[in-house]
Structure 1
């Protein structure tokens, strides 16, 4: 049967609409970090099933874990796996150790969708000296295994590596180890992983930062910076990273937000309602990118569960979207 051009166009448009509705931007943009510092957490397989039931398609874990790897096989859930901080010195100085690490913790698990290897998390000062050496050797091992480009290699940094962050366009890297890392990422086509927490910025500067600006609920522009206007702190923080990358010669380096979240108890403005507001708005927002860099911004919420064995401030034990019994701390929609 012949079909008019207008009817054909309408059918194509309808098909595209259905495809987009079935695969909303927010789901594609959002993963959830899976911390395991608790003595009351569900089994690894039950945790992975919870990810699947909520439509969460990406996960970060903070070190190799055989039971998690086995539970992830065949699920299609994309994974960031960390090289723990205490392992970096041995890898930085020994290519064979890096090859063994990749063989034992990546190549041994067919069916796991490894996406990124984060070589260290939030290392600063002298502790950061081994990042670049370990990254380069892990990257060489990945490439030697024929997975070059399939699995990205980076490091996860804290926002403290930046300096002069107000306004965003003033930002530079204040940590001396970042220049060579940016150069490595540029040359290898890998992104920078950054942990971005408007909560901590707000909690430490309540006299200068408005709560609505931190929670994505400000009704208008709060910060003007040249051609860009900011109505939320998250965008300003991420754009600060982009500006610092440009000034370090890494304008082509992408950014992945490897952690962001808001605690529901334990500190300033840590209510269940504020945690829900921040994380739901984050999910709804990141598919659009930032004023400086439009498009999908891959982001990982911290964290899946409240972890009762985390050290530090009380807030550290209350970042979970779920209680250890898998019931939600608050209602949140990943779709």
Structure 2
């Protein structure tokens, strides 16, 4: 009995330490984007160990980085893999080009890595590269069909700039220059039960118009409805944005297609009082809680929404004018603020 008492005491102490330092297991519905635009980031093997340490079960890679893919072998971390924008034009040229890309970047890892999604391009619709997205998706789907890899879903990633309107959410609609390509893409996704990926940033809307978009609405902290859209009440801008996408998708013939939130986050520095560790921590903790409750949105209550926090690290090589402090961790792998 005395041995059992000491075992129980030790387990209790360990649990207390575990919770105190924030190592709370992440839901399988939440992942973190692994950006690599930095010259001071840790090695990929260390990064994968950091994901495992904090119980982060999903990772989004923006490109098929060999070091990252090698480190992910046998990790049991589900992978969303991106095809870089600069590769789209070449890959859209032929089935053979996509076959070669798949053979080099996916096939060698199929026995050791679970690929959930392959995202064809990031935020290229609307734009000059938009015309290449669907051809690459079709070629990629042919490879997946030939190899009986039905669990891998082919998709693409949109930003809020694809929407012509988003307020109120029921007015959500794609820009005219995006409508035709989105109608075809949504038909493709619907036929295969694949989701559309969307990047959702309440921070951007709040920081650009703080007079009209209140902080509590942007940070999931409002205690009463802020926007009333017919019968639907919105307590947070995240849900309103997702529902604006749903409305746009319905108008483009994709009402049955689901979404994955491929990026959302809040920077901890770089834009004065809009960006502090406290604000960033509040947003990301509330975002994680909101997603893991699995409540869906007012328009689609109970809908399954997988989501990714942007990003794992503060990266020091972001393009000029882009916030550089979205990371949950510093390059030395210490948390910027507690989330997990």
**What is the TM-score of this pair, normalised by structure 1?**
0.89
In structure 2, the residue matched to 1:33 is: 33
Is the 1:33–1:60 Cα contact (8 Å) retained in structure 2? yes
CA distance in 1, matches of 2:28, 2:70: 23
- 1:108 to partner: Cα distance: 1.0
In structure 2, the residue matched to 1:15 is: none
- 1:195 to partner: Cα distance: 0.5
In structure 2, the residue matched to 1:233 is: 237
In structure 2, the residue matched to 1:8 is: none
In structure 2, the residue matched to 1:169 is: 170
CA deviation vs aligned residue, 1:231-256 (integer Å, no higher than 9, x gap):
10000001111111111111111100
Aligned residues: 308
In structure 1, the residue matched to 2:308 is: 300
Comparing 273-282 with 133-142, greater Cα deviation is found at: 133-142
Is the 1:260–1:302 Cα contact (8 Å) retained in structure 2? yes
Give the secondary structure class of the aligned counterpart of 2:319.
Answer: coil
- 1:306 to partner: Cα distance: 0.4
In structure 2, the residue matched to 1:125 is: 127
Unaligned runs of 5+ in 1: 1-23
In structure 1, the residue matched to 2:264 is: 260
**Aligned pairs (5 A) from 1:240-279:** 240-268=244-272, 269-279=274-284
**What is the TM-score of this pair, normalised by structure 2?**
0.88
CA distance in 2, matches of 1:248, 1:150: 26
CA distance in 1, matches of 2:120, 2:88: 7
- 1:230 to partner: Cα distance: 0.5
CA distance in 1, matches of 2:182, 2:141: 17
CA deviation vs aligned residue, 1:148-205 (integer Å, no higher than 9, x gap):
x210000011111112211000111112321211111112221100011111111112
1:286 partnered with 2:291? yes
Aligned-residue CA RMSD (Å): 1.4
CA deviation vs aligned residue, 1:116-154 (integer Å, no higher than 9, x gap):
00000001322211111111111111111221x210000
1:88 partnered with 2:88? yes
CA distance in 1, matches of 2:182, 2:209: 26
Is the 1:116–1:152 Cα contact (8 Å) retained in structure 2? yes
In structure 2, the residue matched to 1:100 is: 100
Unaligned runs of 5+ in 2: 1-23
Is the 1:95–1:137 Cα contact (8 Å) retained in structure 2? yes
